[in-house]
Amino acid sequence: MKALRIDTDGTMQMVDITGSTIKEQNDCIWGILGGYFDCVRMTVDAMMLVNDEGALNDLPANPAAMLISGYPLLFGTALVVGLEDTPDGAVFTDCPHRYTFFAQKENA
């Protein structure tokens, strides 16, 4: 699964979330974000994942993530993933194409 990684310095890049099971994918996300994560719903098909205790752990604010998500306080690295409803509940999918634009501009 592809995700948009947004670092606190404003750097944005596409990263792979590896794993064939939800647990393996969560382990990968935990590794990137540095611990447990919270989900910030952005749209019907997009979710931002952020460190659950970013403020408590004195992680730096992430202005780029705040601007993209419209959420007022986010700390540490953030990931943007897709979201798809299934009969068993919502699952993460590849980052929606409209957000990959940020990584393309960063690497241009």
Note the pLDDT tens digit of each residue in 87-97. 888 889 999 99
Which residues contact residue 79 at a Cβ distance below 8 angstroms, ignoring those fewer than 6 apart?
3, 4, 5, 6, 15, 17, 29, 32, 33, 48, 49, 50
Query: What pLDDT is recorded for position 30?
Result: 93
Q: Structural domain boundaries of the chain? A: 2-106
- Give the pLDDT score at 88: 84
The pLDDT value given to residue 101: 85
Model pLDDT for residues 31-56, shown as the tens digit of each residue:
999 989 999 999 999 999 999 988 88
The overall pTM is greater than 0.75 = yes
pLDDT given for residue 108 in this prediction:
45
